[in-house]
Amino acid sequence: MSNHRIVIVGGGAGGLELATLLGDRLGRKHKADVLLIDANLTHLWKPRLHEVAAGALNADVDELSYAGHAKRHWFRFALGRMSGLDRARREIVLAPHIDGNETILPERRIGYDTLVIAIGSNTNDFGTPGARDNCIFLDRRSAAEHFHRTFLNEYLKAGTHNPPAEKHCNIAIIGAGATGVELAAELNHSAHELTEYGFDQIRPENVTITILEASDRVLPVLSPKASEAIRQQLEKLNIRVLTGEMVTQITEDGLHTKSGKFVPASLKVWSAGIKAPEFLKDIDGLETNRINQLVVKRNMQTTRDDNIFAFGDCAQCPRQDASTPVPPRAQSAHQQALLLAKSLQNRLAGKPLLDFVYRDKGSLISLSKSGSVGNIMGNLSKDFTFEGKVARFMYITLYRMHQFTLHGFFRTLLLIMRDRLARRAGPKLKLH
C-alpha cells in the first residue's frame, strides 16, 4: 500500500486502545494503514480474568470481536501469533495457525514501516519444580475458563456420592499480587453463591483458600497501610494468608515451602510473577532484559531500531523520577497507548516524538462483593486508603474508562445498561 504501514502486534488493553485511536485519527483520513495482529479473534480485558475463573463473568458475553471493532474504527485485523522479526526487510513473521491437526493459515510475513509490539506477558514460575505440571497459570482467557470448569467439576463430583457425604475443596494461590488476592475473594464469593444453585455438597465453610506470598506482606507494591487493610479483609473472608513463604515444589497433592510447610490443595493457581514471551529474547538483535522484555527509550522506541516501538508488559520503559522501570500494570499500558497515539501522529507529520511520563493513579483491589481496598492518586495518597463500596465504585470505573477509550460515551453507556440487565435477568454465576 502507498500509505505508511503501522503494524501493532498484540490486542491487549494497550494494543487495542492504540489501534482504535490510530484508526480513528489516521486510518479514517487515509493517512496511514493501521493493522492490528493478535493470536485470538476476540479481546477480553486481562484484569478481569480472575472473574472468569471464579464464574463471576461470562467471557462469551463480555468479549469484543477484533474484526468487528476494526470495521467500526478504520483499521484492519489479522489473526496470527508473531514468531520472528526481519528488521532488514522490515517484516514480522507469523507462525502457522493450526486448529487440531489442520493448518488453517500458513506461515506469513507482514511488512511494516512502523512496528509496535504490545504482546503483554506470560506467567513466570521461576523454574519452580512441578509448577508447570500442577498449576494453572492465570494469564490468558483459556486458562481462566479451564480453572472455572475444574472448579465446577469439584462440585459436580462431590454430588455423585451416595449416601451424601461432607466434602472439602482446598485451593492454593501462589502470589499475593492483584490477581491472586482478587481471585481468592471471588472464589470465596462463588463458594457461597453455588450453594444457592443446588451445588451444596461442598459447604462454603469447607472451601479452604490459601494465598502464599514470598514477601512479608500482601500486595507489596502498595503502601503498608493499604496492604494491611487488604490482609484484614481477606481474613474476615476466612481466606488463609501465608506471607514470607516461598514455594519450593508443587505436587499433585499440594505445595511445599522453604520453611518446611506443606499446604494440601487439589486446585492450584500460580500468579507470582511475569515475563515477556520467550521468542522476544534478543530477537533479531534488539536489546532485551533478563525477563525477555524489550528495552525501550522514554519515547518507547526500542534502543536499537527507531522503527520499532514497544510498550506494556513486554517492554522495559524507564521512569522519569525513579531508578525502577514503569511497572507492568493496566494503567501503565493505558497511559502509554494514549501517548504513543500522539507520538505516531507526530512521526508521520515530521514532528518530534513525545517522552512518556508515568503518573501513578494508585491501585484498587477488588474483593468481590465485599468491596474494594486501595489508594488513589499514587504517591499523593500513600497514607490514605479507600475501602468498601466507594472503592468498589472506583474500581469498576477503571474498566469503564477502558471501554470509553474503545467505544466512546454512547456505546459505553449501552454496555453498562446491558450488563445491568444481564445481572437481573440471569444467574449471578456462570454455571457451565
**Residue 163: per-residue pLDDT:** 63
Instruction: Give me the mean pLDDT over the 255-276 stretch.
Output: 96
- Residue 17: band (very low, low, confident or very high) from pLDDT cuts 50, 70, 90: very high
Residues 6+ apart with CB under 8 A from 129: 248, 249, 250
**Residue 114: per-residue pLDDT:** 98
- Residue 211: band (very low, low, confident or very high) from pLDDT cuts 50, 70, 90: very high
| Cα dihedral: 339, 344, 349, 351 (round 10) | 50
Residues 6+ apart with CB under 8 A from 144: 49, 50, 52, 53, 59, 138
Instruction: Give me the mean pLDDT over the 170-194 stretch.
Output: 95
Residues 134-153: tens digit of each pLDDT: 999 999 999 999 999 999 99
Residues 90-116: tens digit of each pLDDT: 999 999 999 989 999 999 999 999 999
Question: Is the entire prediction scored with pTM above 0.75?
Answer: yes
Domain ranges (residues) in the chain: 4-121+276-348, 127-272
Statement: residue 201 has pLDDT above 90: no
Is the previous residue joined to 325 through a cis bond, with omega within 30 degrees of 0? no
Statement: residue 379 has pLDDT above 60: no
Between CA 131 and CA 141, with CA 135 as vertex, the angle to 5 degrees is 125
Instruction: Give me the mean pLDDT over the 274-291 stretch.
Output: 96
**Residue 1: per-residue pLDDT:** 47
Instruction: Give me the mean pLDDT over the 25-32 stretch.
Output: 96
Tell me the HSE value of 219 on the side-chain side, using a 13 A CA sphere.
25
Tell me if 343 sits within 8 A of 299, measured CB to CB.
yes
User: Please, what is the average pLDDT of the chain?
Assistant: 92
Q: What is the CATH number of domain 4-121+276-348?
A: 3.50.50.60
Statement: residue 381 has pLDDT above 50: no
Statement: residue 382 has pLDDT above 60: no
Residues 47-82: tens digit of each pLDDT: 999 999 999 999 999 999 999 999 999 999 999 999
Q: What is the CATH number of domain 127-272?
A: 3.50.50.100
* Same topology between domain 4-121+276-348 and domain 127-272: yes
- Residue 322: band (very low, low, confident or very high) from pLDDT cuts 50, 70, 90: confident
- Residue 36: band (very low, low, confident or very high) from pLDDT cuts 50, 70, 90: very high
**Residue 52: per-residue pLDDT:** 96
Least confident of 93-102, 232-241, 293-302, 322-331: 322-331
